[in-house]
């Protein structure tokens, strides 16, 4: 009952009750102790008083004896000293009798006794005094009589008996007081002991109750709180009938747990929904990218085709602008896709061996194409200790460096953009490489630096207006570098430039092949930029050649003029120089060596591939071009090219445009635009193309072919059965197992790539299709025997004397009009040779544009007449003329090709004459 009531009390009340008990106990102890001590003090006082009475009585008695003894001694001896003793003792007795009367106080019994004693003492004193007086007056005899009389003895006995009686009383009182005092002492001790014990007991009880009612529940609450922290919300603390604070707290905890559990359930549901939404977003992005990339593919492909048609200057300008806008749009889509892939954790890095130099050479092409100002010098500054072959994701590394260097170019008006590497540690096959892109551009304000890697952030809002861009590039770079195990950092000073850098741990792969050593020669580098000069000199010396430098065309001319004989076998000349520029310097060098046979080979260094260079390129007779920034491999290849006989170069030119010759490719693609682009690109590279416009047709064509196709390009998303299903069905046939099927996909997600591989495809080409990627991917998967066949055919075609003409197709293309064909043939016969001759003349006069126009017309004529070989050969030379730095063809080579074209044209005309003999009378 009491426990029940106690339990019902609040914790506060319980504690207050506990403290009240303790307080009462202490009060009790103090009270009782106080009373006992007071009593003890009184008893002790009485006891002391009594002891004083006893002592006074004893003194009194002693002095009485002294009085008597003094009197007697005086009477006997008559000496005064005894009389003095007598007097002193008598005085003392008087004092003690008074004191005794004082001590005994108002007690009548004692007063009576004291009075009695005083009377007796007075009597005794009189007897003694009388004896002394008699002794003094009547002599010793009379005194002795008095002294020996009974009165003196009698008085003394009475005094003694009175005093003894008093003493008896005092002694009995003394012992009773002592007993009382002892009892009181014991009682006090007990009271204090018991009080302390009960206080401690109550305190212990309070402690026990606190532990039971507070500490234990608190511990339980702490466990529940920990559970909640670790995400377990399903807790219920049962506190049966407690209504106190702990009970309330338990109820609150239970309510909180229940509410958290409910929120967790809601959150889980929300997470599932968010994941689903994110997945849907990723899918939407992938689909959108497909949807956007498909028309983009068409646009870019058609632009490529458009480039090959005759256009006015304005049209050419518009086409160029459309192309660059389309490419910008494509890069934006790619960026958004990359970000969404990173967000979805979809972005997986590849780990493959790659030649660092080749990757950097690719990057150099891209960077120099990006460069729009002649005032920026692009420089590669690679650590000589850089391993040649590394393991990693070269594509992503290139993407990061391209973005950083692209930004550096974008935000630099004058000065340098240096891409550098530094080997900062090597341990066996592992190497730590620091990559850095340093520019002398606008720099970034300190307050913008902390946010520079956040998505959609640009250093200042005006940036997007001035330079465009989405603010995604650095975010992607940072994420990619994080994935690769590095950390992208930046230091920048406003107005002075920026340095973006990161260190990557990479693996070193064994070197596959070593480049042959170059024949010994002395090289002169002519460049106004000191950094480039220095780097080139180091690179040239590292391949074992001697190298000198000149900082201008003028200085180079002086050096060459001063030498008795030509000491240089190779000149590297920068295109952009302040006083005498590259082309002018070359013209003057050639003049210098006009009558000599030891003219050095020439390599032109170009910083950007822009219109100005292209228009002058034909007029410059160079053995090779090198576009900046330059890698050691690029330099090596250019030196080999510039110093080798030109026959080899001509052969290689032929190879680049005939790379797919002999291959029969089936393209399964539903989109008409894409069909046209794929056919054109493949046929331009010599492949034979069969089209299928959906999955079912693709499957039927693949299975129906007598000789299986060499390669099948399969679109992924098609109406009816899609690419995956079509491939799966094709692969079920044994004879189709070895045919390489390559996916054409606009879906860049790795899951799509995995799906392609899982169903038996060997690779994928992403849309919009890039010519180089298309050709190199097909080449990679064409079997050795197909390649041999292709090479043999190459040789056959290039040395063939019977050009291929398909008149039937041409007549059909003209709407079946044979008459029209014959009329056109007559024009062709009269015009084609003239066009070719005009082309040669224009070329010799350095009129590149006119030369291109003549070639273009010739190609159009050949195509109309169905003269396939002629058309292809003309197209090849035309391409070489259009992109001198890409295919690296010199004017000398083009002239060689002219002879080849002339022979081909004459044979074509002869053949046509046989097929369509001129009417009699017209010959
Ligand atoms: P964007 O596509 O806009 O260039 P980035 O993420 O690549 O996106 O760059 C974000 C911003 O960082 C740029 O808009 C620019 O303001 C700043 N930035 C990046 N690199 C440089 C640099 N080398 N010099 C100056 N500012 C830079």
Task: Read off the pLDDT of residues 315-364 as tens digits, 9 standing for 90 and up.
Answer: 888 888 888 788 888 878 888 778 777 777 777 888 888 889 988 988 88
Residue pLDDT, tens place only, 188-222: 888 888 888 888 888 888 888 778 878 888 888 88
Which of 10-14, 620-624, 808-812 has the weakest average pLDDT?
620-624
Widest distance between CA atoms in the chain = 225
Measuring CA to CA, which residue among 541, 510, 505, 502 is closest to residue 525? Answer: 541
How far apart are the C-alpha atoms of 887 and 896, rounded to whole Å?
A: 15
Please give the distance, rounded to the nearest whole angstrom, from the Cα atom of residue 626 to the centre of ligand 1: 28
Please count the helices (runs of H) and the strands (runs of E) in the chain: 31, 17
Ligand 1 — pocket residues by CB below 6 A?
403, 407-408, 411, 439, 441-444, 452, 458-459, 463, 469-475, 498
pLDDT at 921: 40
Measured by CA distance, the residue closest to atom 13 of ligand 1 is 458
Name the band, by pLDDT with cuts 50, 70 and 90, for residue 441: very high
Asked if 400 contacts 393 with a C-beta cutoff of 8 angstroms, the reply is: no
Q: First vs last Cα of the chain: how many Å apart? A: 140
50: exposed, middle or buried (C-beta count within 10 Å: 0-12, 13-18, 19+)?
A: buried
How far apart are the C-alpha atoms of 719 and 714, rounded to whole Å?
A: 13
pLDDT at 654: 32
Please give the distance, rounded to the nearest whole angstrom, from the Cα atom of residue 357 to the centre of ligand 1: 26
The ligand 1 atom at the shortest distance from the C-alpha of residue 439 is 23
pLDDT at 923: 35
pLDDT at 617: 53
Percent of the chain predicted with pLDDT > 70: 86
Q: What is the pTM (predicted TM-score) of this model?
A: 0.50
Strands 352-355 and 489-493: unpaired
* Residue 851 CB neighbours (<10 A): 25
How far apart are the C-alpha atoms of 386 and 27, rounded to whole Å?
A: 91
pLDDT at 784: 37
Instruction: Give mean pLDDT, residues 50-60.
Output: 86
Percent of the chain predicted with pLDDT > 90: 14
The residues, any chain, with a CB within 8 Å of residue 275's CB and separated by 6 or more, are none
Please give the distance, rounded to the nearest whole angstrom, from the Cα atom of residue 100 to the centre of ligand 1: 119
How far apart are the C-alpha atoms of 129 and 64, rounded to whole Å?
A: 13
Residue pLDDT, tens place only, 594-638: 666 678 888 988 886 555 555 555 556 678 888 889 998 889 888
Q: Which two tokens stand for residue 165?
A: 């009686």
Name the residue with higher pLDDT: 433 or 314.
433
Name the band, by pLDDT with cuts 50, 70 and 90, for residue 314: confident
Please give the distance, rounded to the nearest whole angstrom, from the Cα atom of residue 459 to the centre of ligand 1: 7
Give the residue, out of 453, 459, 464, 501, with the most ligand 1 atoms within 8 A of its beta carbon, to mutate for a pocket test: 459
Q: Phi first, then psi: what are they for 372, rounded to 5°?
A: -115, -10
Give the residue, out of 458, 467, 477, 499, with the most ligand 1 atoms within 8 A of its beta carbon, to mutate for a pocket test: 458
Give the residue, out of 335, 399, 407, 498, with the most ligand 1 atoms within 8 A of its beta carbon, to mutate for a pocket test: 407
Please give the distance, rounded to the nearest whole angstrom, from the Cα atom of residue 437 to the centre of ligand 1: 13
How far apart are the C-alpha atoms of 542 and 517, rounded to whole Å?
A: 11
Q: Which two tokens stand for residue 771?
A: 């010519």
Residue pLDDT, tens place only, 214-255: 888 888 888 888 888 888 887 777 776 777 888 888 888 888
The residues, any chain, with a CB within 8 Å of residue 431's CB and separated by 6 or more, are 387, 390, 423, 425, 505, 506, 507, 508
pLDDT at 787: 43
How far apart are the C-alpha atoms of 332 and 328, rounded to whole Å?
A: 6
Please give the distance, rounded to the nearest whole angstrom, from the Cα atom of residue 410 to the centre of ligand 1: 8
pLDDT at 419: 96
Please give the distance, rounded to the nearest whole angstrom, from the Cα atom of residue 376 to the centre of ligand 1: 17
3-state secondary structure of 64: helix
Q: Cα angle vertex 558, ends 554, 560, to 5°?
A: 115
Please give the distance, rounded to the nearest whole angstrom, from the Cα atom of residue 337 to the centre of ligand 1: 19
């Amino acid at each position: 009952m009491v426990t029940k009531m106690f339990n019902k009390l609040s914790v506060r009340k319980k504690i207050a009750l506990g403290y009240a008990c303790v307080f009462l106990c202490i009060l009790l102890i103090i009270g009782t102790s106080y009373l006992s001590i007071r009593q003890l003090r009184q008893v002790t006082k009485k006891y002391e008083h009594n002891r004083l009475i006893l002592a006074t009585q004893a003194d009194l008695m002693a002095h009485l004896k002294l009085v008597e003894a003094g009197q007697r001694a005086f009477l006997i001896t008559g000496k005064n000293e005894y009389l003095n003793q007598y007097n002193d003792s008598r005085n003392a007795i008087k004092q003690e009798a008074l004191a005794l009367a004082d001590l005994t106080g108002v007690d009548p019994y004692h007063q009576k006794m004291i009075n009695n004693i005083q009377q007796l003492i007075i009597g005794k004193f009189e007897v003694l005094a009388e004896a002394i007086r008699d002794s003094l007056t009547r002599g010793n005899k009379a005194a002795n009589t008095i002294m020996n009389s009974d009165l003196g003895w009698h008085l003394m006995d009475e005094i003694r008996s009175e005093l003894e009686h008093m003493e008896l009383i005092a002694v009995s009182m003394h012992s009773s007081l002592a007993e009382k005092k002892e009892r009181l002492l014991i009682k006090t001790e007990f009271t204090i002991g018991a009080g302390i014990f009960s206080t401690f007991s109550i305190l212990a009880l309070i402690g026990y109750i606190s532990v039971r009612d507070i500490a234990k529940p608190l511990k339980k609450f702490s466990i529940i709180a920990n559970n909640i922290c670790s995400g377990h919300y399903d807790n219920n603390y049962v506190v049966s009938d407690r209504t106190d604070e702990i009970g309330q707290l338990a109820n609150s905890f239970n309510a909180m747990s229940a509410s958290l559990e409910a929120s967790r359930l809601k959150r889980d549901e929300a997470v599932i929904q968010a994941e689903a939404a994110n997945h849907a977003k990723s899918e939407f992005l992938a689909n959108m990218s497909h949807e956007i990339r498909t028309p983009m593919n068409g646009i870019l492909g058609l632009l490529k085709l458009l480039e090959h048609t005759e256009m006015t200057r304005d049209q050419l300008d518009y086409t160029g602008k459309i192309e660059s806008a389309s490419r910008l749009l494509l890069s934006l889509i790619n960026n958004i896709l990359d970000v969404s892939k990173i967000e979805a954790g979809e972005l997986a890095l590849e780990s493959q061996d790659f030649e660092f130099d080749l990757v950097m050479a690719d990057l150099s092409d891209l960077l120099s194409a990006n460069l729009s100002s002649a005032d920026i010098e692009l420089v590669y500054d690679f650590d000589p200790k850089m391993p040649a072959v590394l393991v990693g994701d070269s594509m992503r590394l290139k993407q990061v460096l391209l973005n950083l260097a692209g930004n550096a170019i974008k935000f630099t008006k004058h000065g340098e953009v240096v891409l550098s590497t530094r080997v900062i540690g090597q341990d066996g096959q592992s190497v730590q490489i620091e990559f850095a892109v340093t520019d002398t551009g606008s720099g970034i304000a300190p307050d913008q630096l902390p946010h520079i890697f956040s998505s959609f952030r640009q250093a200042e809002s005006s940036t997007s207006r001035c330079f465009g861009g989405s603010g995604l590039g650095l975010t992607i770079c940072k994420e990619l570098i994080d994935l690769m195990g590095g950390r992208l950092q930046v230091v920048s000073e406003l107005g002075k430039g920026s340095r973006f850098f990161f260190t990557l741990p990479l693996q070193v792969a064994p070197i596959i092949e070593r480049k042959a050593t170059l024949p010994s020669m002395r090289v002169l580098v002519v460049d106004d930029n000191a950094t480039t000069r220095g780097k080139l000199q180091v690179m040239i010396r590292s391949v074992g050649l001697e190298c000198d430098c000149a900082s201008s065309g003028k200085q180079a001319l002086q050096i060459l003029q001063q030498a008795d004989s030509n000491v240089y076998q190779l000149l590297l000349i920068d295109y952009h120089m302040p006083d005498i520029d590259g082309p002018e310097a070359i013209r003057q060098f050639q003049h210098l060596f006009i009558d000599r046979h030891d003219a050095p080979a020439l390599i032109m260094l170009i910083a950007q591939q822009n219109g100005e260079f292209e228009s002058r390129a034909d007029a410059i007779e160079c053995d090779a071009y090198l576009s900046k920034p330059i890698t050691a491999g690029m330099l090596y290849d250019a030196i080999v090219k510039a110093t080798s006989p030109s026959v080899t170069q001509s052969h290689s030119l032929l190879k680049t445009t005939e790379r797919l010759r002999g291959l029969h490719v089936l393209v399964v693609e539903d989109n008409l635009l894409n069909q046209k682009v794929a056919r054109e690109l493949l046929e331009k590279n010599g492949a034979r193309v069969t089209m299928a416009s959906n999955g079912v047709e693709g499957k039927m064509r693949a299975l129906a072919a007598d000789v299986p196709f060499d390669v099948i390009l399969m679109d992924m998303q098609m109406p009816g059965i899609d690419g995956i299903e079509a491939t799966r069905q094709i692969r079920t046939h044994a004879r189709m197992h070895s045919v390489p099927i390559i996916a054409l996909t606009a879906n860049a997600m790795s899951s799509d790539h995995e799906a392609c591989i899982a169903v038996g495809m060997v690779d994928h080409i992403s849309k919009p299709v890039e010519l180089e990627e298309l050709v190199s991917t097909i080449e990679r998967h064409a079997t050795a025997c197909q390649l041999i066949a292709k090479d043999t055919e190459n040789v056959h075609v290039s040395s063939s004397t019977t050009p291929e003409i398909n008149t039937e197709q041409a007549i059909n293309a003209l709407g079946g009009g044979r008459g029209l064909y014959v009329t056109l043939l007559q024009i062709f016969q009269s015009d084609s040779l003239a066009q070719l001759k005009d082309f040669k003349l224009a070329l010799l006069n350095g009129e590149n544009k006119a030369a291109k126009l003549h070639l273009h017309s010739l190609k159009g004529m050949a195509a109309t007449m169905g003269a396939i070989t002629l058309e292809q050969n003309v197209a090849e030379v035309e391409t070489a003329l259009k992109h001198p730095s890409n295919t690296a063809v010199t004017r000398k080579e083009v002239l060689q090709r002219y002879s080849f074209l002339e022979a081909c044209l004459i044979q074509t005309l002869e053949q046509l004459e046989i097929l369509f003999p001129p009417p009699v009378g017209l010959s």
